[in-house]
Amino acid sequence: MVSREFADARENRPDARSAMNRHNNEAGRTSIMEHLHLKCKCHGLSGSCEVKTCWWSQPDFRVIGDYLKDKYDSASEMVVEKHRESRGWVETLRPKYNFFKAPTERDLVYYENSPNFCEPNPETGSFGTRDRICNVTSHGIDGCDLLCCGRGHNTRTEKRKEKCHCIFHWCCYVSCQECIRIYDVHTCK
């Protein structure tokens, strides 16, 4: 499979990260294969179906993205084990918790927690989200609930001078008035 040769080409080291990446790459390929669907097109006079051509089609990006996001949210935590083999030290992964079901080839795995971008961290390059402007009406990544990491937000009123009531004059200039508009600005605590 071309995707295996391409995506896994650099994952041949005997370390935990390569093992995790190979496993997760395969889980992604399996997910796409499971979501393939048959598409067909008819050929013939006036739309008759004298000849029918069918092919396997990949799922919509949104469908597979939502599926993989669910897999990401339920990924299995692993621990790294080092052991000696003839080629030197090799790192493998095993489930951290024995009382949970072991991950299958369809599950995603990890052994390090994702960085917390809510707080400043020079190691990851994160400036944190304090004082970031957020959108109080959005449920997306720019929304105050998500962007402020549950800390809440402050609201202040700002007056801004803007050009308004602009008129195009023939030929060839635009004249505008200056208006003062009042905006609510929301920033993360």
Q: Using one digit for the tens of pLDDT, what is the confidence trace for 9-45?
A: 777 778 888 889 989 999 999 998 899 999 998 888 8
Helices (H), the chain: 2-7, 16-34, 61-73, 144-147
DSSP letter (8 states) at residue 45: G
Q: What is the pLDDT of residue 174?
A: 93
Query: In which residue are the tokens 């009123």 written?
Result: 157
With contact defined as beta carbons under 8 Å apart, do 41 and 52 qualify? yes
Using one digit for the tens of pLDDT, what is the confidence trace for 60-103?
999 998 999 999 989 999 999 888 887 778 888 889 988 888 89
Q: What angle do CA 146, 148, 151 make, to 5 degrees?
A: 115
Would you list the DSSP string of 90-109?
Answer: EEEEEES-TTSPPP-TTS-E
Using one digit for the tens of pLDDT, what is the confidence trace for 127-152?
999 999 999 999 888 999 999 999 99
Q: Is the pLDDT of residue 164 over 90?
A: yes
> Which residue, 60, 64, 58, 98, is CA-closest to 78?
98
Kind and range of the H or E run holding 183: strand 173-188
This prediction's pTM = 0.62
pLDDT bucket at 1, cuts 50 / 70 / 90: low
Q: What angle do CA 77, 78, 81 make, to 5 degrees?
A: 165
